[in-house]
Amino acid sequence: MVCRVKPANASHVFRALADPTRRAIFEELTRQGEQTVHALTRYAGVSQPAVSKHLTVLKRAKLVRHRREGRETHYRAQADALAPMVDWLNLYGAFWRDRFDRLEELLERMDS
């Protein structure tokens, strides 16, 4: 029903994206492609240490990958990592549609 996806997998992704700033950083990376930490800091409007912290959380959830070039670290989005989240949403979509059908049947059976 709602659980063919292992909750822990989806949970990492959801939690990483639960923060609005992290969501914004991730979206920016999906829109613009690879970005340096400096560029992301300018975009996000928070301090560089804060951005680095957010990137670490995104990295742990495998939502971004990084590479070093000289003094700069470049990040890029890994949209594939969203798959558990998409599966989860699809499963819940099917779950609720099924419940709506059952609700409809119940309403037919009820007196008033």
Could you say whether residue 18 binds another protein (CB under 8 A)? Answer: yes
Residue 50 near another protein by CB under 8 A: no
Separation CA 11–CA 25 (nearest Å): 19
- Indicate whether 45 belongs to the interface with another protein (CB under 8 A): yes
Determine the size of the site formed for another protein (CB under 8 A): 45
CB of 1 to another protein, least distance (A): 7
Residue 52 or 96: which CB sits closer to another protein?
96
How far CA 74 is from CA of 13, 17, 21, 36, 37, in Å, comes to 21, 20, 18, 4, 6
Q: In 63-93, which positions are buried (b, 16+ CB within 10 angstroms) versus exposed (e)?
A: bbeeeeeeeebbbebbeebbebbeebeebee
Instruction: By CB under 8 A, name the binding residues for another protein.
Output: 1-8, 10-11, 14-15, 17-20, 23-24, 27, 30, 43-45, 77, 79, 82, 85-86, 88-90, 92-93, 96-97, 99-100, 102-107, 110, 112
